[in-house]
Structure 1
Amino acid sequence: MNYKQSLLIAALLGAITVAIGAFGAHALRPGLEAAGRLDTFETGVKYQMYHTLAIFLTGLLQIQRPHKLLNRASLFFLLGILIFSGSLYTLSLSGITKLGAFAPIGGVLLIVGWICLAFSIAKLPDSAN
């Protein structure tokens, strides 16, 4: 993803994350508590927001220093959110525990995003100061 796509996706994901969190905290809370899945749902929301911010910050870095690893970092963060948080939301709402097996795949994608980000930062030139 280029910087504009990263920033746009982060902005939209930010709004979606707040909406999902609010919906879970209010409308879904009784059902999630009864099923013992509130913590699982909240973990999905937290990781979605953390990585939405990571996409946003990666987009800002892309403005200064476009690099294919930054593009990949944003993409891995997005895929990780979809699979990690998505599987936790689905598990929380459906009770199908087998869906939890997808969360580690999303987690690995998030880790790969951070590694791409780290390598892209390592390639930045040292400051002249």
Structure 2
Amino acid sequence: MGLQDTFDYILFKNPIVTGTAEVVKIATTAFPNIILKPKEIIQTDKVIMSPALTNLVHSGTLFIRLAGVSGAAAVVLGAYGAHAVYPKEGSEERKKIYDMANKYHFLHTLALLGVPLCRLPILSGSLLVAGMVLFCGTCYYHALSGNTQLRGLTPVGGTLLIFGWLTMIL
């Protein structure tokens, strides 16, 4: 008995499967009304128009504009960070921090574009903007200046970013 014969027996020819199939066959012929029949779909000529996208995002145009400004700032800061001269001491770590801040800046700028489509756009957008300023801003500051004075605000900014994403699902 090969592998194919074994699977064939287990799936189709064993006594439990054949017995169950016989019971179902007898039950369906004896009680034809038990079988679920799909309802007929009644086709209507009504066309439901969805609202225009501009009507959906009208309440959040401020965040679209902020996303434009933030995106431009992210590009400028990314270019500056690529060409900035870091001091020898700790330059690799500071470069990584700067690159990470720039990636988060870009990602959350794109998230700002989706904020007007949320149920609570003002709350979601405000949390994302505040989180970007506190998280990305303090990372940029630390990477460029080497000063760790504002690093305590970085986790606060990260928490605000998380809450901004979570309020998008409310």
Same fold (TM over 0.5): yes
Q: Hey, which bits of structure 1, 4+ residues long, moved more than 6 A?
A: none
Larger radius of gyration: 2
Q: CA deviation at 1:35?
A: 3.3
Q: Kindly report which structure 2 residues correspond to 1:100-115, keeping only aligned pairs within 5 A, or say none.
A: 100-115=151-166
Unaligned runs of 5+ in 2: 1-58
Q: CA deviation at 1:9?
A: 0.3
What residue number does 2:141 align with? Answer: 90
Aligned residues: 110
**Is the counterpart of residue 79 in structure 1 residue 130 in structure 2?**
yes
Residue type at the aligned position of 2:111: A
C-alpha contact 1:84 1:106 (8 A) present in aligned 2 = yes
SS in structure 1 opposite 2:169?
helix
Give percent identity, aligned residues only: 32
Task: Give the TM-score taking structure 2 as reference length.
Answer: 0.61
Task: Give the TM-score taking structure 1 as reference length.
Answer: 0.79
CA RMSD across the alignment: 1.5
Alignment CA distance shift 1:33-1:79 (3 Å): farther
**Is the counterpart of residue 8 in structure 1 residue 59 in structure 2?**
no
Q: CA deviation at 1:33?
A: 6.5
Q: CA deviation at 1:118?
A: 1.3
What residue number does 2:90 align with? Answer: 35
SS in structure 2 opposite 1:98?
coil
Distance between the aligned counterparts of 1:73 and 1:47, measured in 2? 16
Q: Kindly report which structure 2 residues correspond to 1:14-29, keeping only aligned pairs within 5 A, or say none.
A: 14-26=71-83, 28=84
Higher RCO (CA 8 Å, separation ≥ 6 residues): 1
Residue type at the aligned position of 1:12: V
Alignment CA distance shift 1:32-1:46 (3 Å): farther
Unaligned runs of 5+ in 1: 120-129
Distance between the aligned counterparts of 2:166 and 2:77, measured in 1? 28
What residue number does 1:125 align with? Answer: none
Alignment CA distance shift 1:47-1:95 (3 Å): same
Distance between the aligned counterparts of 1:42 and 1:33, measured in 2? 17
Q: Deviations over 1:30-52 (max 9, x none)?
A: 31675320000111111111111
Alignment CA distance shift 1:99-1:32 (3 Å): farther
SS in structure 2 opposite 1:118?
coil
Residue type at the aligned position of 1:70: P
SS in structure 2 opposite 1:96?
coil
**Is the counterpart of residue 46 in structure 1 residue 103 in structure 2?**
yes
**Is the counterpart of residue 58 in structure 1 residue 109 in structure 2?**
no
Residue type at the aligned position of 1:31: Y
